[in-house]
Structure 1
C-alpha cells in the first residue's frame, strides 16, 4: 500500500472514530438507558471530541471528500441533543435590588489555591463575599474558623454541618439573610462527601436550598502525567458510580420536599454527564439561561470544566448569572439571582 493511500485510510479511520464516539456519547447522555463507565468518562472530555470532529470535517472539506458528512452529522446530533458548551446569553441581565441572590463557592477548606498561596486568603475570600452581598451563600469544603464567623455577621442565619457521630464529612455551610426555619443533612454513606439543606423564610414563602458536594474526582492539575491510565480509569469509574448513588439519594429526598427548592454546589461532573442531567431534571440552569462563555468553574487548564451549578425551580424567573475569576480556591464562585412567582 502506498504511503498516500495509507495516510488516506488512516485519516478515514480517525474521522469515523471521532464521529462514532460523539454520536455514541450523545445517545448515551440522552436516550441510551445504560451505565457504561467509558461513556461516563467520555463526557468529561466531550468538548475536545467536538473540536476534533470540527477539525476533521474541515480537513475533509479541504480534501473534497464526501466523508465530511460524517462529522457534520455528528456535530448536528451533538448540538440538538446535548447542546453547546459555549453560551452566549441573548437576554441581558435584568437583576433588580428586589431579586433574591445566591452564591455557591467551594473554598477548599479556606487554604487557598496551591498555585496562588495567598497568606491572607481567608480575608480575601471574606472581602469578596461581603462585596458581592448575596442573600444566600452555599459553601463547600468550608472550614469554620473564628475569624470567618466574625466577618460574616451580615448573615445572621447559618447552618453548618461536618460531623455525625464518629463520621467526618467535608464541611458544608449555608449562610442566609433570610430566617432558617430548619436544616438537615443527607449523610451520604461510605464517603466524606455530602449534601445539606435549609428551609428559608423568603418573602412570606418557604424555600428549600440544597447545598451539595458530590463524590470528588480526586485529581489535580499536573497529576495526570504521573497517573497509571488503567488505575485512573478504574478510580474515575468508581467515582462516577458513587456520584450516581448520591444523586439517587438526593432526588429521593427532593420528592418529599413540601417546598420549591434550589440545588447548588460542586457536582464534580460536567453538564454532559448523566449525573448532571439527572439532577437537573426540570430545574433551570442559571448559567445556560443568563451566563456567557464557557462558564468554567474549576482551575484546570487542560479542560474547561464547568462542575459548579445553580439549578433553580422552573417557576422562578432567573434574572442573572455570574462566573467570577477569583483564584482564592481551586474553584471559581458562581452567583445567580431570581424572582419568586407573583402571588
Structure 2
C-alpha cells in the first residue's frame, strides 16, 4: 500500500522528527553532560513520545511501509536505555512475619486539594494510613498536632523535623513500629524542602531509611497557559539545578551509611529525569519490581506523573508494591513490602 500525498508530506516528517526526539532524549538521559533545561522538560513527555511511536510503528507495519524503521529503532532504544513506565507484575511471594512495609505519602499539610473540600481531611488521611497498617509511615508536608500523634499511637517511635515553628522547612515525619536507634536531617540550603533519615532496628538487622522531599517544580496545569514561557523555563531550570544539588547531598550521605539503605519520598521529577537516575543507581524501584499500571502518584490532569518513589538497595527483596487511588491530597500514597535478602 502506498502513502497518500498527505502522508508523504506531513506524517513522514513528523514521524521521523518524533522518533529522533525520543532517541536524542534517551542519549541525553544517560550522558554525563550538563543539564539542558529544554531536554529536562521534554523528558516529562516521554510516555507520549512512546505512544506516538508505537501507534505510527503499528500503522507502518500494517501497510508494510519502510517508515516502520524509525519508530521501531526509537522504541528499541527507549526500552533498553530508559525502561518502561508501565509495568505488570503479580505478587507470588509468600508473605512472612519478617517482611517490612513502608507507606510514603505527601499529605499536603492535611489541607486536601482542589478536588476535595473537607474540614475533616486530617482524620481521613490518618484513618487511611492506619487502616493500611504499614510498619513504617513516611510523610512529606506533615502537620503535627496532639490529635495527629494520638491517632498514630500505634507507632511509638517517630521522628518529626522540624518541630512546629522552629525553621522554614516543610515538615517531614517518619513513624515506626520498630525502634529508631539514630536519626538526623540533611538540611538543604535556600529551600523549604529537605530530607531526614532514621536507622531502624529490625530484629537482628538494621537499615537506614531516608524520607526525602526534593525541590518542587512549582507549576500546575491550570497555570501553564498564563505562564511566560521564558520565565517558566528559567524557573524550572533553577529547580532542576537545586534538585541535582540535593540529590548529590543525599547520595554522599548515603555512602557514609554502614547499613543497607531505603529511600522514599517525593522526588518532584519523573523516572526519566537525571535526578531520579542518580538517586536510583544500583537500587531497586519497588514499582518497577512489583507494581502494576502507570504507577501515577501526582494528581495532574495532563500527564500520568510518577514522582513519588520507594528505592531499595540490593540487600532487599521487594515482595509487593501498591499504588492507592485515594483523593486525599495532590499526591497518591504508595506502599512497598520487602525483606532482607537471604545471604
Measured against the shorter chain, the TM-score band is over 0.9
Distance across 2 between alignment mates of 1:304 and 1:219: 15
Distance across 2 between alignment mates of 1:166 and 1:129: 27
Counterparts of 1:96-107 in structure 2 under 5 Å?
A: 96-107=96-107
Distance across 1 between alignment mates of 2:95 and 2:43: 33
Distance across 1 between alignment mates of 2:227 and 2:214: 22
Give the conservation status (yes or no) of the 8 Å contact 1:161–1:196.
yes
Deviation, 1:159, is: 0.4
In structure 1, the partner of 2:22 is 22
| Secondary structure of 2:101 counterpart | strand
Across the aligned residues of Structure 1 and Structure 2, the Cα RMSD in angstroms comes to: 1.9
- Out of 180-189 and 50-59, give the one that drifted further: 50-59
In structure 1, the partner of 2:315 is 315
| Secondary structure of 2:170 counterpart | strand
In structure 2, the partner of 1:153 is 153
Q: Over residues 169-192 of structure 1, what are the superposed CA-to-partner deviations in whole Å (9 max), with x where a residue is unaligned?
A: 111011111111121111111111
In structure 2, the partner of 1:144 is 144
In structure 2, the partner of 1:69 is 69
TM-score, normalization by structure 2: 0.94
Q: Over residues 220-256 of structure 1, what are the superposed CA-to-partner deviations in whole Å (9 max), with x where a residue is unaligned?
A: 2422222222222222121111111110111010111
Q: Over residues 37-80 of structure 1, what are the superposed CA-to-partner deviations in whole Å (9 max), with x where a residue is unaligned?
A: 12211111110111122223334445543122111110111011
| Residues 1:186 and 1:330: Cα distance change in structure 2 (over 3 Å) | same
Distance across 1 between alignment mates of 2:56 and 2:31: 26
| Secondary structure of 1:303 counterpart | coil
| Secondary structure of 2:15 counterpart | helix
- Out of 94-103 and 164-173, give the one that drifted further: 164-173
Instruction: Tell me whether 1:299 sits opposite 2:283 in the alignment.
Output: no
- Out of 64-73 and 284-293, give the one that drifted further: 64-73
Deviation, 1:129, is: 1.2
Distance across 1 between alignment mates of 2:337 and 2:152: 20
In structure 1, the partner of 2:46 is 46
- Out of 212-221 and 49-58, give the one that drifted further: 49-58
Distance across 1 between alignment mates of 2:183 and 2:171: 14
Distance across 1 between alignment mates of 2:323 and 2:30: 27
Counterparts of 1:85-164 in structure 2 under 5 Å?
A: 85-92=85-92, 94-162=94-162
Deviation, 1:5, is: 4.6
In structure 2, the partner of 1:270 is 270
Deviation, 1:202, is: 1.1
| Secondary structure of 2:69 counterpart | helix
| Residues 1:130 and 1:165: Cα distance change in structure 2 (over 3 Å) | closer
Gaps of 5+ in 2: none
In structure 2, the partner of 1:236 is 236
In structure 1, the partner of 2:196 is 196
Distance across 1 between alignment mates of 2:204 and 2:92: 29
| Secondary structure of 1:222 counterpart | helix
In structure 2, the partner of 1:170 is 170
Distance across 2 between alignment mates of 1:91 and 1:118: 35
TM-score, normalization by structure 1: 0.94
In structure 1, the partner of 2:223 is 223
Deviation, 1:6, is: 6.8
Equivalent pairs, count: 340
| Secondary structure of 1:117 counterpart | coil
| Secondary structure of 1:292 counterpart | coil
Deviation, 1:165, is: 9.8
| Residues 1:165 and 1:251: Cα distance change in structure 2 (over 3 Å) | farther
Distance across 1 between alignment mates of 2:334 and 2:15: 37
- Out of 82-91 and 298-307, give the one that drifted further: 82-91
Distance across 1 between alignment mates of 2:140 and 2:244: 19
Instruction: Tell me whether 1:336 sits opposite 2:336 in the alignment.
Output: yes
Gaps of 5+ in 1: none
Deviation, 1:130, is: 1.1
Deviation, 1:90, is: 4.6
Deviation, 1:12, is: 2.1
Give the conservation status (yes or no) of the 8 Å contact 2:144–2:164.
no
